[in-house]
Amino acid sequence: MTHQPFGVTAEQVAFFQREGYLVLPDFASAEEVAALLARADELLRAFEPSANPSVFSTTKQTETSDEYFLRSANNVSFFLEPGALDAHGQLRVPRHLAVNKIGHALHDLDPVLGPWSRSAKVAALLRALGLARPLPMQSMYLCKPPVHGGVVVPHQDSCFLDTEPDSCHGLWVALEDAGRENGCLWAVPRSHEGGVRGRFVLDEHHKTEWSGGVPPEYPPFGEDSQSGWVPLEAKAGTAVLLHGATVHASAANTSLASRHAYSVHYVDAEATWQPTNWLQRDEDFPAVAL
Ligand code: FE2
């Protein structure tokens, strides 16, 4: 897989800084998209559900405190759509309809997704947006399966990936066309100006909780432009950059089309990774900057 160079203009950088997001059509070539999709297909085919019964749901944050979730900082784990398992831990639907996402160390461990996450093209883009030393900390292959794909509620990525100073940048790449009908990203322009509204932290018992005890409040996800949200519809290969404080969400996928995407969150290695973050890498598995 060759990675073609990709340039961003000063106007695009200014748009990102002003609006808190940037949409870049054709960031990933057709060849790259095909390779990333094929790799995910391999991962999904090899997935053994009975060994991974954990279900991840962004609407039920308490479930994220389980050890499976915390360990996924250091491995490649599978998270299922709510309701994908029956009472006996068996899949109720075919696995390609059951998996919500795969994560969170693909950028370091996967032989295809990893090199793409660290490609010169990606590094140049992140440096252009202001990261002095881009450091990938979290990666997710997002399946958003047809009919079963769940909603991702409004949130800010920096809540989950805290550095001092804040430096989280999200790179999300559509591997299939993402439109309103199959759960594209939505964002609130300029919402990053309001700063990060809360932190998802580890307590002294190694359990996750929201700083202040309650999740931050965000503008209701209206799925229409009148409410201040904009749809970030994206053809396959399009990259969406999100400032860490930009409020964003995606709707459930009730269509018959899947919506595969690959997302990597980068911070600046010059900033300090907070010890209260849920994501903590093992000492013998250090995070390495681009
Ligand atoms: Fe996000």
Gap from CA of 2 to ligand 1 centroid (Å): 28
Please check whether residue 241 is in contact with residue 129, taking contact to mean a CB–CB distance below 8 angstroms: yes
Gap from CA of 229 to ligand 1 centroid (Å): 15
Gap from CA of 112 to ligand 1 centroid (Å): 22
Gap from CA of 171 to ligand 1 centroid (Å): 10
Gap from CA of 87 to ligand 1 centroid (Å): 30
Please check whether residue 149 is in contact with residue 252, taking contact to mean a CB–CB distance below 8 angstroms: yes
CA 155 – CA 37 distance, rounded (Å): 26
Find residue 139's DSSP bridge partners: 104, 264
The mean pLDDT value for 10-21 works out to: 97
Amino acid at 198: G
Gap from CA of 92 to ligand 1 centroid (Å): 27
Question: Using 50, 70 and 90 to split pLDDT, how confident is the model at 80?
Answer: confident
Burial class (CB in 10 A: 0-12, 13-18, 19+), 75: middle
Gap from CA of 170 to ligand 1 centroid (Å): 7
Q: Are strands 163-164 and 261-268 parallel, antiparallel or unpaired?
A: unpaired
The mean pLDDT value for 161-183 works out to: 97
If you write DSSP's letter for every residue of 118-143 in order, what string do you get? T-HHHHHHHHHTT-SSEEEEEEEEE-
Gap from CA of 88 to ligand 1 centroid (Å): 32
Gap from CA of 197 to ligand 1 centroid (Å): 14
Gap from CA of 12 to ligand 1 centroid (Å): 21
Q: What is the pLDDT of residues 103-126, one digit of tens each?
A: 999 999 999 999 999 999 999 999
Higher pLDDT, 94 or 144: 144
Instruction: Map out the domains of the chain with their CATH numbers.
Output: 12-273 (2.60.120.620)
Phi, psi of 175 (to 5 degrees): -105, -10
Question: Using 50, 70 and 90 to split pLDDT, how confident is the model at 14?
Answer: very high
Question: Using 50, 70 and 90 to split pLDDT, how confident is the model at 57?
Answer: very low
